[in-house]
Structure 1
Amino acid sequence: MTTEDDIALVKRQELELVLPALDEAVAFEIGSSIRARALEEGLSLVVDIRTWDRQLFFSATPGTSADNAEWVRRKINSVRRFQRASYRLVLERGEVPFSPQSGADVADYVIAGGGFPLRVPGAGIIGSLTISGLPGRKDHGVAVDALCDHLGRNRADFALPEA
């Protein structure tokens, strides 16, 4: 697969992995499934699910640190500002910091995979599912897998190939 193919697939993920609703119960179900997977597979992950005005779910598994929570905060900001998966930013721009002219200060924004926009019909992107702990492409994949599972979609139909 080429980078262009990866970008097209991430765009498809963003458009098709749409939640019918997002509330505390949905966030808990998705977040708990990610936490269970992390514990089962021995993955050190921080998981954050939120609407733009408040956090609905947060979890950190063994092996994570305050740095992971900081990466999550910066990924959330990037998803919110650019209205796309943070991994799509990586594919489109490379993992280089934003320029000072962009106004996206590196202290608050990051180009790294793991932040996924949460879309609800009739409302658009209202929040994010964000993961930190693995390499960016894998963080992104964990988020996509969880959304597929929640929505009853086949993971293989949305999975990026191994890099």
Structure 2
Amino acid sequence: MTDDDVAALIETIEQQERELVLGTFTADDAWRLGCMAVDIARDRGLPIVVDVRRGPQQAFHAALEGATPDNDSWVQRKVRVVERFASSSYLAGLRSRRRGQTFSEQHQLPFQEFAAAGGGFPVRVAGVGVVGVLTVSGLTQADDHALVVEVLTRFRSATPA
């Protein structure tokens, strides 16, 4: 991936984060969001873990066929990045890459606790900010990111403002 590719991808993800804002995010919403992600993944036979947080509370978690315990570790590490930086885990990693550093080098954070890889995405509520995290793990980081964006896009379309 060239520097221009990284810059374009950063711009795309920043736009996704600006657009994927919800009107509310209740406990029931968190459950429905997780179920929607699982339904999509099952239809495609994806071996992933799906995790939804509402504030610090894990509101939904599912490990689909083919997912491994290692995926749970990746979820935890991606969630920490989203919660700390209020941006998607993929975006955080790409921003470091654009600076010519790894995320761990730039922020002096241990890789075993923080993973700036695709798949963690902030759940934002209009007028409030980040209130949760949708995370998947089990695919490439680009595919993990694309899946959470797809799920949030569908969820936003299906949820009244």
**Which TM-score band applies after superposition, normalised by the shorter structure?**
0.7 to 0.9
Indicate the residue corresponding to 1:118 in structure 2: 123
- The total of aligned residue pairs comes to 152
* Match status 1:98 vs 2:133: no
Name which of 50, 69, 73 aligns with 1:70.
73
Deviation at 1:84, TM superposition (A): 0.7
State the alpha-carbon separation in 1 of the partners of residues 37 and 56 from structure 2: 22
Indicate the residue corresponding to 1:156 in structure 2: none
Matches within 5 A, 1:76-155: 76-94=79-97, 96=102, 98-99=104-105, 102-152=107-157
State the alpha-carbon separation in 1 of the partners of residues 125 and 39 from structure 2: 25
Deviation at 1:52, TM superposition (A): 2.6
Give the stretch that moved more between structures: 32-41 or 132-141.
32-41
Q: TM-score, normalised by structure 2?
A: 0.87
Indicate the residue corresponding to 2:55 in structure 1: 52
Which residues of structure 2 form unaligned runs of 5+?
Answer: none
1:36-74: CA deviation from partner (whole Å, max 9, x where unpaired): 111111101101111232011111100111100000000
Where do 4+ consecutive residues of structure 1 move more than 4 Å? none
Which residues of structure 1 form unaligned runs of 5+?
Answer: 154-163
Secondary structure, counterpart of 1:49 in structure 2? strand
State the alpha-carbon separation in 2 of the partners of residues 22 and 41 from structure 1: 26
1:82-129: CA deviation from partner (whole Å, max 9, x where unpaired): 111111123222393503x83422221012110001111121111110
The answer as to whether partners of 1:24 and 1:57 remain within 8 angstroms in 2 is: no
The answer as to whether partners of 2:93 and 2:103 remain within 8 angstroms in 1 is: no
Secondary structure, counterpart of 1:152 in structure 2? helix
The answer as to whether partners of 1:23 and 1:56 remain within 8 angstroms in 2 is: no
1:130-163: CA deviation from partner (whole Å, max 9, x where unpaired): 110000010001000011111129xxxxxxxxxx
Indicate the residue corresponding to 1:157 in structure 2: none
Alignment RMSD (CA, Å) = 1.8
